[in-house]
């Protein structure tokens, strides 16, 4: 493509102001789908973001000051002015936002993540520190990818979106628990948590699948509390009492309605 015109651009870098003479090219073929569409040099993107006065080196430097040295926006602004970079506090905040966006895109790069996973096979999703009110000990909560996948799969089985009957849900859940028990070493330091998960599940096993046998039966504690709450609400509306009587669910027509529903 022919060089149609030059576009001067000034970029503020850590080493001073740089003037660029960008050669803008356009296709002159009228039958081309990209006729007269401007093409800018590819190297321009390695120096600065589009329509941005400051270079990428300044953005990277701001990110280091903000997140590595934990400096505030006024402190960063003062530091840059001492280095001879003319910039406002508002622009500092704007460039930090651009740094966060670029960092987020880099962290979500699937090719980079696949290369990391190919070597180590597993990854820790999050490490959070919680300090109790008493003492100075910090409790570190680690969320591991392997264990998280098992818990997520358990949730999907119990949600039963594919509509299995009680026997099907019980079989799928039992197979998952067997897999977790046999492969718990893959969870690393969370293998004891896997043991607790399996132990707790077995303690509730006898009553865990009734909701798949009886239509409309509350599946979770929240659903059960909601059902009783609705009954108490309608009872108060019918009787005018502010507090439902304790005999509400053990005798009379209410007991019959509960039995008929569940």
Statement to judge: residues 30 and 82 lie in one domain: yes
* Tokens found for residue 75: 């402190």
Report if residue 139 sits inside a domain. no
- 115 part of a folded domain: no
Report the pLDDT value the prediction gives residue 130, as an integer from 0 to 100. Answer: 55
Of 51, 47, 45, 49, residue with least CA distance to 14: 47
* C-beta separation of 11 from 17 below 8 A: yes
153 and 244 share one domain: no
Same-domain pairing of 6 and 96: yes
Spatial contact of 180 and 174, defined as CB atoms under 8 Å apart: no
Cα(234)–Cα(261) distance, integer angstroms? 16
- Supply the DSSP symbol for 31: T
Q: What is the reported pTM?
A: 0.46
* Domain co-membership, 19 together with 102: yes
Distances (CA, A) of 83 to 132, 205, 226: 42, 67, 63
pLDDT average per 10 residues of sequence, the chain (262 residues) = 82 90 85 83 86 91 92 93 90 93 83 70 56 53 63 85 87 90 77 84 85 81 80 78 64 47 48
- Residue 175 domain flag: yes
Q: Residue 71 domain-assigned?
A: yes
pLDDT confidence of residue 2: 73
Residue 250 is assigned to a structural domain of this protein: yes
Q: Which residue, 12, 11, 13, is CA-closest to 22? A: 11
Of the candidates 16, 1, 9, which has an alpha carbon nearest to the alpha carbon of residue 44?
9
Q: What is the 3-state secondary structure (H, E, C) of 92-124?
A: HHHHHHHHHHHHHHHHCCHHHHHHHHHHHCCCE
DSSP letters for 128-193 = EEE--SSSS--EEEEEEHHHHHHHHHHHHHHHTTT---HHHHHHHHHHHHHHHHHSGGGGGGGHHH
Q: Is residue 128 part of a domain?
A: no
Cα separation, 12 vs 86, in Å, equals 9
Specify whether 179 is located in the same domain as 227. no
Q: In 14-119, which ranges are E strands? A: 16-26, 38-39
Spatial separation of the C-alpha atoms in residues 50 and 126, rounded to whole Å: 33
Question: Could you tell me if residue 243 is inside a domain?
Answer: yes
Q: Domain check: are 59 and 156 in the same one?
A: no
Q: Are residues 196 and 226 in the same domain?
A: no
pLDDT given at position 254: 45
Residue 6 sits in which domain range? 2-107
Expressed in angstroms, the distance from the first to the final Cα of the chain is 75
Residue 123 exposed, middle or buried by CB count within 10 Å (0-12, 13-18, 19+) = exposed
122 domain residue, yes or no? no
Phi, psi of 137 (to 5 degrees): -70, 145
191 & 154 share domain: yes
User: Are residue 198 and residue 169 in the same domain, yes or no?
Assistant: yes
- Where a domain ends, among 52, 80, 107? 107
């Amino acid at each position: 493509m022919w060089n149609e015109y030059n576009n001067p651009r000034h970029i503020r870098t850590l080493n001073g102001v740089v003037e660029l003479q960008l050669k803008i090219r356009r296709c002159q073929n009228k039958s081309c789908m990209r006729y007269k569409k401007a093409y800018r040099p590819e190297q321009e993107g390695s120096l600065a973001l589009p329509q941005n006065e400051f270079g990428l080196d300044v953005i990277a430097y701001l990110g280091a000051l903000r997140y590595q040295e934990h400096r505030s926006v006024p402190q960063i602004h003062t530091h840059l002015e001492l280095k001879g970079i003319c910039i406002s506090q508002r622009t500092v905040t704007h460039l930090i936002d651009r740094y966060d966006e670029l960092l987020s895109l880099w962290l979500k790069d699937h090719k980079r993540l696949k290369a990391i996973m190919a070597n180590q096979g597993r990854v820790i999703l999050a490490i959070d520190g919680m300090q109790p009110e008493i003492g100075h000990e910090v409790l570190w909560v680690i969320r591991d990818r392997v264990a998280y996948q098992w818990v997520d799969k358990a949730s999907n089985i119990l949600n039963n979106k594919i509509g299995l009957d009680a026997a099907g849900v019980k079989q799928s859940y039992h197979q998952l628990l067997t897999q977790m028990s046999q492969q718990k070493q893959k969870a690393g330091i969370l293998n004891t948590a896997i043991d607790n998960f399996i132990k707790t599940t077995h303690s509730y096993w006898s009553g865990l699948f009734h909701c798949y046998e009886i239509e409309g039966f509350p599946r979770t504690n929240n659903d059960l509390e909601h059902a009783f709450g609705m009954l108490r609400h309608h009872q108060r509306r019918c009787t005018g009492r502010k507090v439902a009587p304790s005999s509400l669910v053990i005798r009379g027509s209410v007991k019959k309605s509960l039995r008929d529903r569940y």
